[in-house]
Amino acid sequence: MRRIRQIAFCIVLLLAGCSRPPLAQAETIAHPDNGAARVEYFVSRPSGDGPRPTIIFLHGYQSPDARLGGKVFVDWGVLDRFAKKGYVVASISLPGYGGSSGPEDFAGPFSQHAVEAVIKTLVAEGYTSRDKVLIQGVSLGAVTAALVAAHDPDVAGLVLISGLYDFTAYLDHPPSPGALGVKTRFFTQIGGGEDALRSRSALPLAPEIKASTLILNGAQDDRTDPEQARRFAQAIQAHGGHARAHIYAQFGHEIPVKARESEIDAFIDETLKH
């Protein structure tokens, strides 16, 4: 009987040692454009004193029945993985997703200001080094990230995955059924108009981007244009910036994490730990 109790005790200790740390909990702040609206975000902070280099994750479009917003990065373990490397890591729910108030504005000013507000909050709390912020965005999140960096010269790095950077050219001639779907969502949310297209196009703002930039796209992507990824990188370089594009020949809009993880990790470490 004593032997059994000893074994049971060891099992309890083993299970306790293997238990996962608690997941990041949702936090909210008031939206700077509307005090009644909330911006939801999740943060993992490494042990020790700040401020620290910080990674901001922005999700892409999510269907109405799966609008988890920034929580998807928590569930995937992304925040915990980078926090263990010493980074402060935050994922933001864009307006209309997760616990963030709408309206959706397809990477427009309301979305950009939500991201900027979270960064300012982390800096004010002493967690984040203002000149050591990198934003990684996927699809809609990539569009938003590029526009935030174009208006904020202190952003140190960008990782843009499967984004669009010239809406005027793209939506004038949608090349695929997937592109038509993007156009439909754009006009449903925004209503169209030249000003709306221009204000969400990062390509003309390439001279303003000071962040080191990695742009990834699938050659078979039916919802974006890999040629825009190349043009955007070239435009940033032409104005003295640092950017490169990697087009994955075998992939479409979804570039598997395993295929891009090592390249992105190396870029983040080089950019934020330099």
Amino acid making up residue 229: A
Structure tokens belonging to residue 130: 């203002």
61 CB contacts (<8 Å, ≥6 apart)? 139, 140, 185
Cβ(136)–Cβ(193) under 8 Å?
no
- The pLDDT value given to residue 12: 38
- 3-state secondary structure string, 46-113? CCCCCCEEEEEEECCCCCCCCCCCCHHHHHHCHHHHHHCCCCEEEEECCCCCCCCCCCCCCCCHHHHH
Alpha-carbon distance of 195 to 70, in angstroms, equals 28
Query: Cα–Cα distance between 264 and 14 in angstroms, integer?
Result: 34
**What are the C-alpha distances in Å from 45 to residues 2, 60, 69, 222, 224?**
43, 23, 19, 37, 34
CATH H-level, domain 23-272: superfamily: Alpha/Beta hydrolase fold, catalytic domain (3.40.50.1820)
Alpha-carbon span 92 to 72, nearest angstrom? 10
Residue 55 corresponds to which tokens in the numbers above?
Answer: 């990674």
217 strand-pairing partners: 247
- Residue ranges of the chain whose pLDDT lies below 50: 1-21
CA 180 to mean position of chain CA atoms: 24
Q: Which residues 6+ apart lie within 8 Å of 115 measured at CB?
A: 56, 58, 92, 94, 135, 144, 145, 148
pLDDT of residue 15: 42
Q: pLDDT digit string (tens) for 211-261?
A: 999 999 999 999 999 999 999 999 999 999 999 999 999 999 999 999 999
3-state secondary structure 220-248: CCCCCCHHHHHHHHHHHHHCCCCEEEEEE
The helix-helix angle for 140-151 and 109-124 (nearest 10°) equals 70
